[in-house]
Amino acid sequence: MNHLTKKVSLLIMSGILGSGFAFSMPLISYASADAIGILGTVVGGALVYRELDDYMNRINNTEEGRQEYFNELKQKEGVSENYARKARLDAMMSRLTEGVASSDPSIYEKPYLYFLNPKPEFNAACGLGHVLTINEGIFDLSGSEDEIAVVLAHEMGHGQKDHVVKGTKKKIKTIIGASVASGALGGTALSNMAMTALVGQINNVQITKKQEWEADNLAFDYCYQSGYNPGAGAALWQRVLEKKGEFRNSLLGEIFSPSDHPTHEERRDNYEKRLKKLSGGHVSVKKNTDTVQVNKKDFITPAPANGMSSAERKYFVMGNLAAAYHQGKSNKKAYALNGTVMLGDQNILTPVREDPSAEELADLLNKIK
C-alpha cells in the first residue's frame, strides 16, 4: 500500500459506515490533519477517485481489509461488556444468517463481522465489508427479540445489496466529476474537493429512499425466513412512533423526519400491507382501529400487555395469523392450549386478563377463518 493509500485509509477506516438503521445517525469522522494534507497534494481528481475506489474495494472484498476495518471500528466505537446482551445478539445473528441463506446463500461467502457497542442510542449500522456495529440502545427501546431482529435484518439487507459501496462511489464520483468539469484542479482546490467528498460521504449516509425501502422489505423476508414473527416490523415502527417523545434524546431529534428516509408511519404501514399480502388477503386491521380482522370480520382488539400498547400488540397477532394462512394451517381447527390460542401448531396469541379467553377466541376463529 503506497503512502497516499495509507492516508486515505485512515479516513475510510475511521468512519465510513453505511446506513444507520432507523434514523441514519452519522458516525463521527476521525479524519486527521495529516490526512487532509496528504489529500491536498493530489493533483488530479481521477487519481483521488482511483485510490479511494481501490481502497474501498479492498475493505469491502478482502478478508484482510474487512478485519482491518472491523478492528478499527471496535477501537473507535468501543465494545460493550454486557455479556448477556452480547449472547442474545450472537444467537440472533446466527439465526438470521441461516434465514438469509435460505434465499441468498452468498451470505456465507462474506459472513457478517459484528459487535455490540455501549452507545445508548437506538441504532445499528452496516459498513463496508459486511461490518456491523450495533448500539446497546436497541435493547433499551424494545425487549422483544422479534423487533430487535428487524433492526438487524434491515442492516443485513443493506449489506446483501451492497448499498453502502454503491452510495459511496456514486457520491464521490459525482463530486469529483463536477469539479473536474469546472476546471477546479490541483493544489488546495483539489484537496478541499476531495476532503468535502470524503467527509460528506462519511458523515452523511448515502442511502437512497429506494434502498431504504428495499432494506425494509428484505428485513420482512429475512425475519420471516428465520422464524421470527412477521408482524414485528410493523410493531417496531408503531413502538417507535409511541416512544419517540420518551426517547427523544436517544433518537436524535430532527432525524424523526429525514428527507432521505421513509417516514415512520410509511414504514409501519408498508409492513402492515406485507402482512395482509402474506396472509393472502385474509388478515387485516379494521380501518382507524386496533381491531384485527379475519376475512373482514372482527377477531380481537388486543388489550395492552407486557409493555406493549394495543396498537403494537395487534401486529404480533396479525403476524401469527398471516403466518398460519401462508403456511396452509388455516384449514386446521383452532383450539385453546394452556391458555394460548392455537391454529394447527401455530401460536396465535396468549390472552391477558382484559382479553377474551383463549377458548372464546378459538371458537370465534373457527367461525370466521
Question: Which H or E element spans position 126?
Answer: strand 124-127
Residue 351: pLDDT over 90: yes
**Under 8 Å between Cβ of 247 and 137:** no
Which pLDDT score is estimated for 253?
33
Pairing of strands 113-117, 334-337: unpaired
- Work out the pLDDT band at 166, boundaries 50, 70, 90: confident
Which pLDDT score is estimated for 246?
54
Which pLDDT score is estimated for 244?
75
What is the three-class DSSP state of 14? helix
Which pLDDT score is estimated for 122?
85
Which pLDDT score is estimated for 289?
97
Task: Report the distance separating Cα 268 and Cα 162, nearest Å.
Answer: 24
User: Phi and psi dihedrals of 28, rounded to 5?
Assistant: -70, 135
Task: Report the distance separating Cα 129 and Cα 113, nearest Å.
Answer: 8
Mean pLDDT score across all residues of the chain: 80
Residues 8-42 have pLDDT tens digits of 444 444 444 445 554 443 333 344 444 444 444 34
Task: Report the distance separating Cα 211 and Cα 162, nearest Å.
Answer: 10
List the chain domain ranges.
3-207, 212-368
Percent of the chain with pLDDT over 70: 71
Residues 48-70 have pLDDT tens digits of 566 667 767 888 899 998 998 88
What is the three-class DSSP state of 224? helix
Residue 357: pLDDT over 90: yes
Query: Rounded to two decimals, what is the model's pTM?
Result: 0.82
Task: Report the distance separating Cα 292 and Cα 140, nearest Å.
Answer: 28
Which pLDDT score is estimated for 28?
34
Which position has the grid cell 445489496?
161
**Under 8 Å between Cβ of 166 and 196:** no
Q: What is the DSSP-derived secondary structure letter of residue 102?
A: T
Residues 194-239 have pLDDT tens digits of 334 432 343 345 688 899 999 999 999 999 999 999 999 999 999 9
Which pLDDT score is estimated for 245?
59
